[in-house]
Amino acid sequence: MDVVTFGETMLRLSPPGHERIEQAGELDVRAAGAESNVAVNAGRLGAETAWLSKLPESPLGRKVAAALRAQGTTPEVVWSDDGETRQGLYFLEQGGEPRGTNVVYDRADAAVTTATADELATEFVERAGYLHTSGITPALSETLEATTADLLELAQETGTTATFDVNYRSKLWNPEDARATLEALFPDVDVLFVAERDAKEVLDREGDAEAVARGLTDEFAFGTVVVTRGDAGALAVRNDDVFEQPTVETETHDPIGTGDAFVGGYLAARVDGGSVADALEWGAATAALKRTVPGDVALVTREEVEAVLAENDSGIDR
C-alpha cells in the first residue's frame, strides 16, 4: 500500500451545464471528497491507494464506494446502519462570472463524523508509505478531530509519512479555530500543502511563498512545505532547498478538485521515486489535466501526465 487517505467523501449533485438548481429537472451525481480525490488521483498514476472512512449502509453510501472503486482506489470503510447516520451531500452550481460557482453543503451528521480510530482499518495506515488527510477532516466533528490526531500519531509511530493539505473551508469553521486545531496536528505531519491565501488568512503567516514555507518549516519541523499559488504556480521548501513550479496552462471545464489533483500527482511521483521537483511537475500536470475533466477527480492516465510534461518541456525548449 503506497498511499492511504482519510476523510469524508460526499455525493456531489449538480445540474447539467450552467443551470441553476432551481430550474434543473435532474442533477448529475458523482462522488467527491478532498482525500478520496487524492487517493484516486495518485492511484491512477500508479500508486496503490486506499481510502479510510465511514459510510452509511444505504444506496447512497454504496454509490460512494462504487464510484471510488471504479475510479481506482479501494474504499476501506466502516459501514454504519442506514437510518442512524446519513450520507454527506453537496450541491453545486457551476456558474460563470460574475455569478460564480455556488456550493451548498449538506454534510452535517454524515456517518464519517462519528468515525473513531478504533473502528477504522488502521492497519492500512501502518502498512502504507504515505498517510494523507486534510484540514477539512478535523473540521467536521470533534470526534474526527480526535481521530485525525490519532491517525497522524499512528503514522508517526509506524514510520508512515504523513501528508496534510490545509484546505481551509470557511463554511466549516473560522480561521481562529482552524489555526488552533491545525497547529496541534502539525507536529505529526511531515509534508504540508497549503494555499498561499490560507497560509496568510488562517495560519497567520506573512511574506512571500518562500518565506511562508521557511517559516512553517522552522516552527513545526515539517520535512517539506508546498505552497500553492493558483495561476502563479507552486513552491516547495525541503531541507532548505527551494523548488519552483509554474502552473500548466489549461482549458477549464470543471475547476473543482484542482488542488487535490496537484497533491495526487505529487504523491504519485514521490511514491514512484521522483524528487520533489519531479513531484511538483507531476502535481502541476495532473492539476491542469483535472480541469478538463468533469467531476472532482482527475480521470487521467499516467501517459497523459507524461505527455503534458513532455510537451511543456519542449514548449520551453529544453
Place of cell 481562529: 176
What is the number of residues in the chain? Answer: 318
User: Which helix (H) or strand (E) covers residue 109, if one does?
Assistant: none
Binding span for its own copies by CB under 8 A among 142-150, 230-238, 274-282, 292-300:
292-300
Write b or e for each residue in 169-185: b if 16 or more Cβ atoms lie within 10 A of its Cβ, otherwise e: beebbeeeebbebbeeb
CB 42 within 8 A of CB 2: yes
20 vs 275 by CB, closer to its own copies: 20
Q: How many CB atoms lie within 10 A of CB 18?
A: 10
Q: Is the dihedral of CA 48, 216, 287, 169 positive or negative?
A: positive
Q: Which 64-93 residues touch its own copies, going by CB under 8 A?
A: 66-67, 69-72, 82-83, 86-87, 89, 91, 93
Residue among 128, 122, 180 nearest 151 (CA): 122
Rule CB under 8 A: say whether 27 interacts with its own copies: yes
Rule CB under 8 A: say whether 299 interacts with its own copies: yes
Q: Which 212-241 residues touch its own copies, going by CB under 8 A?
A: none
Rule CB under 8 A: say whether 180 interacts with its own copies: no
Rule CB under 8 A: say whether 255 interacts with its own copies: no
How many CA atoms within 13 Å lie on the side-chain side of 171?
8
Among 95, 187, 207, 255, binds its own copies (CB under 8 A): 95
118 is catalytic: no
Binding residues for its own copies, rule: CB under 8 A, are 13, 16-29, 58-60, 62-63, 66-67, 69-72, 82-83, 86-87, 89, 91, 93, 95-99, 102, 104, 106, 108-109, 171, 248-254, 285, 288-289, 291-295, 299-301, 304, 307-308, 311-312
Q: Which amino acids are annotated catalytic? A: 260
